[in-house]
Each structure stands twice: as C-alpha cells, then as structure tokens.
Amino acid sequence: MSHSAPARPLSIAASGPLVGTLTVPGDKSISHRSLMFAGLAVGESRISGLLEGEDVLATAGAMRAMGAQVERTADGVWQVHGVGVGGLLQPQVALDMGNSGTSTRLLMGLVASHAITATFIGDASLSKRPMARVTEPLSRMGASFTTAPGERLPLTMRGLCPAVPIDYTLPVASAQVKSAVLLAGLNTPGITRVIEPVPTRDHSERMLRGFGAQLTVEETPQGRMIAITGEAELRAQNIEVPGDPSSAGFWMVAASVVPGSDVTIRNVLMNPTRIGLVTALRMMGASIDELAQRDVGGEPVADLRVRHAALTAIEVPPDLAPSMIDEYPILFVAAAFARGTTVARGAHELRVKESDRIAAMAAALGLAGVRVSEHEDGLSIEGRDGDPLPGTRDARVASLLDHRIAMSMAVAGMHARAAVTIDDAAPIATSYPAFVDTARALGALPQWMNR
C-alpha cells in the first residue's frame, strides 16, 4: 500500500438527474475502531458492514501483525479473535498504513502502553503528515519515538509497560489524538484523562463502553473530560457498522445540485458529532429528509432522502468544523452552485489532511471555472446560482493522492458543461471502492481514461 500505483484519470460530465436508492460503505471511523477494540477483547467478535477500503484493511493487517486473528468470512462478516488488553505481540514487519492517518495515530496509542517496538510506514501522502500532536502526549506516558524530519513517517516507537497515566488537554480539536491517548490508557494503571475544549466525534467513547471499558464523560469548565480506567478487560462484541456520513455527503451534495435529482441513502450514521454537513446544507436550503430513524449498536441511524433544491450561500459557523472536518471539500462544491458567496472559515485542520485541502480545492474549483478566495483557515466561494460549472476542458484537476478531493470534484463534474477530469482517482479506493459504480447506477457517466 505504501508503494506508488499507476495513476487512474477519471472524467465526469453532466448527464441528467440522479435518481435511485443506495447504501454507502460502512463508517470508516467505526470500522477502524471495531477492528482495534475487537483485537484487544477476550473472545470472538463479529463485525458486519465493515468498510473494506484500503485504509481499514491497513488496520486489519496491523492487528494481525500484532497477534489478533482477523478473518473475513464468505458472507462478508469479519471475525476477530482478540489477544486481550496488554496482549499485543511484537510485530515482525513494519506496519504499512498506506494512506490512513486514522490507523497510524490510533495504533500508535495502542502500542504506547505495550512493551513492544513498532515501525509505521505509509504512502507518499501519509508520509507528509505531521505526527507530533500524537507523539507529544504519548511521550508523556512513557513511549519513545524515532521519526523522519518534522515528526513524520517512517516512524519507530517503543512502548512502555506499565505506562504513566496523564491528564491531557487537547490543544487542537482532534478525535484521533483524543482516541490515541484513551487507547494508551487502556493498558495503563490508574486513570487517564483527556479534556477536549471543543467536542469531537465520540465513537471511541461509545464503543469502548460497549466493549466493557470503565469510561466516564463529564462536562467541566475546561471542557468535556473523558476518563478511562486502565488495565481493562474488554469483552467480545457483535458489531453492525452503519453507513459512513462522510461518504453519504457526496450524494447529498450531488442530489442537491443536479436538477431533477431524487436520491435516498440508506442506513446513514447520524451521530450528532458527525452531521455538521447535514446542518450546513440545510442552512443553505437543501432538501434532506430523515426517514426510519433508529438506533444501531448505540449509534443513531436514519435513511436520508435528498432532492434537488436551490442553494443559498451562507457563512459557515466555525463551531461546525469538528463535526464536518472531512466534509469541507464536498461542502465547497455545494457552495460553488449556491446563490451568493459562501464563506467557510475556522478549518485550519484542513491544511494537514491527506493533502492541504484548502489549497487543493481552491485550485481544483478555480480550474473548473469557480471564483475562489483562499484564507489561512478556509475559502470564500462565489456560487453560480445553480448554473453548471464550465468544467476543466483539456486541464486535469490534481487530486494530490487525496480520495476526498477526487470524489468532490467528480461530484462537481455531474453538473458541468464540459467534463471535469481528475488526474488520478485511484485513491478513491481508500474509503469508497464502489464510488464510480454507484455514480453510474444513479445515472451519472464517469469514465476511466487512459493515462
């Protein structure tokens, strides 16, 4: 996964309304965590609906390398026999994380409180992403690190057992950093506490409780304090992974901007810490109806019916950022079709994702004919009031090995006069392997091109 694969250019142009019912891949955040927690539990866990993209498969491979038995059955259910908290084994090979920052940062948390040494490697994109925000708290707990310049991959870490419990206040809102510290705390004597001044996605907390960890959440004047009691014993679980709201976001925007569209997305995770895009699109006038609301494994789930609607520009509330940080690229596409100028600020985190998503989307939308102003923490986008984009004609959008840039600009092409062409859409497989097939099933006409 860390080796470069041949580029796969993708071209997509307007082809009429998008109509149909679909399911999106299992939620990526929950998929990663279900494999990790099951790998630390005692007994056999069964996971259905797991996202089988490259990022999650990197997590599965790493857990196997550290002793867990992880197998996919013929009916698509994943069986995991865990090693127990404290039972991770010394990996005999480097852990190849591919493009997955989530795998890397959370697994570093697991390793930190085990007496093992692990080397993490990744692809060119992941190797540019800073890891200091994770190495800093884990170092306080006793882990030590050797990294490439700039606290980047390749990275070798040596865990400490017993590790030292800490109280840690997140300097930047990050569910990955929070989760890494909590996972290190699982095998650390005493109580490890994380304080988040701004709430972030809470899948780790929900799922750790479900597996039997002693975890409390308390609102304090400093922020939300999560405390985990170490030397836990996790119990095997059966897990049903709901649909990923980040993946659903592409079809929410596509149906909203392509005239005549009517799309229903089944079984979408509606966790309040993950639906910032739904909130922002509704503020813009999107028609999104929640059907069959229900609870699946402690998480709220619904079917979403999305119909074409005239969108109006908004100033995106910065406090939505933690609940939609991965969805900003597709929100920028929605803004390109709105009436007026949308201003989205407060999203500094986008600078250090799989790519610099602020710069990448400014360049991509500009190439497709949208007027964009770039800020340090976001974009201002002059919308086209429902008119199609001019498209990229002979130019190619640079995906920068970023799956969300590629899929967002594919959606932009679904309402463009000339095709939008993406230089390399192969990274889509990291999170949504069936994206192109789903687009075709709804009526779009994406075409893989010769290099």
The residues assigned a catalytic role are: 326
Mode of pairing for the β-strands spanning 420-422 and 10-12: antiparallel
159 is in an annotated binding site: no
Whether the Cβ atoms of residue 269 and residue 241 lie closer than 8 Å to each other = no
Q: How far is 96 from 59, CA to CA, in rounded Å?
A: 9
Neighbours of 220 (CB within 10 A): 10
3-state DSSP helix/strand/coil % of the chain, to nearest 5: 35, 25, 40
26 is in an annotated binding site: no
β pairing state of 315-316 and 341-344: parallel
Residue 128 is assigned to a ligand binding site: no
Question: Does 353 count as an annotated binding residue?
Answer: yes
CA distance 216 to 208: 10
Q: Are strands 191-196 and 223-229 parallel, antiparallel or unpaired?
A: antiparallel
Q: 235 a known binding residue? A: no
158 known member of a binding site:
no
- What angle (nearest 5°) sits at the alpha carbon of residue 148, between those of residues 146 and 154? 80
Tokens of 398: 């640079």
Asked if 147 and 131 touch (Cβ cutoff 8 Å), the reply is yes
Q: Are 34 and 241 in contact (CB under 8 A)?
A: yes
How many beta carbons lie within 10 A of that of residue 232, not counting itself? 22
326 marked as part of a ligand binding site: yes
Known binding-site residue numbers:
28-29, 33, 101, 129, 174, 176, 326, 353, 357, 404
Known binding-site residue numbers for phosphoenolpyruvate:
28, 101, 129, 176, 357, 404
